[in-house]
Amino acid sequence: MFLIVGLGNPEKQYEKNFHNLGYIAAGDVAEALGAKFKKKECEASVAEGYLGGEKILVARPVTYMNASGRSVKQLIAKYKLSPKEIAVIYDDYDLPKGHVRVRPSGSAGTHNGMRSVVAEIGTGEFPRIRIGIRDPELEIPLISYVLSDIKREDYELFASACKRAAEAALALASGEDCDRVMTKYNG
């Protein structure tokens, strides 16, 4: 079993925000698996699918971004998963817009949702997939930026980045080596 978590905020008003790119990518994962978000458990909306006979859970925590770790911790405990059996997808201001970066582990950086996940599960030793959102042309406070809507002219760029992030998550879920996934999807 493998768990893919897309970070975001649950209310409709946040749907098109940069901070919801993890949710969007999780939707792309579920679509690729032919799964629907039907289940509500562990403070998350969950879809279940199969990849090569292996069960894949796709979760969108409904705790709001800054408390995402609560949901991830509950899911890990319920399904008796190790941190290596999860991947977290989220937006990252430290990367240029549209870039995807896969890492086998690391710190939370400046991302409050990831800070929550790392704090709750007690380790940063799990794969993560970051979707870059930094636009050097915009000079607004970080919190205002991440909660702003993606500009129409950038929609295709971010839709493509979310699809690549979803493909990377599925590659990890299928057991592909993280170094190989990094080589294929980073950039």
**Each residue's pLDDT tens digit, 130-146:** 999 998 777 788 888 88
Q: What's the domain range around 111?
A: 2-185
Q: Closest by alpha carbon to 165, among 128, 111, 115? A: 128
Catalytic choice (19, 73, 99, 128): 19
**Cβ-Cβ contacts under 8 Å for 160 (sequence gap 6 or more):** 98
Name which residue leads in pLDDT, 22 or 94. Answer: 22
Check pLDDT > 90 for residue 170: yes
**Domain count of the fold of the chain:** 1
pLDDT at 146: 87
Write the CATH number for 86: 3.40.50.1470
**Cβ-Cβ contacts under 8 Å for 8 (sequence gap 6 or more):** 14, 17, 19, 20, 21, 22, 23, 24, 26, 60, 61, 65
Active site residue 111: no
List, for residues 73-131, the tens digit of each pLDDT value.
Answer: 999 999 999 999 999 999 999 999 999 999 999 998 889 999 999 999 999 999 999 99
Cβ atoms of residues 131 and 161 within 8 Å: yes
| C-alpha span between 140 and 145 (Å, rounded) | 6
Query: What's the pTM value of the predicted model, to 2 decimals?
Result: 0.96
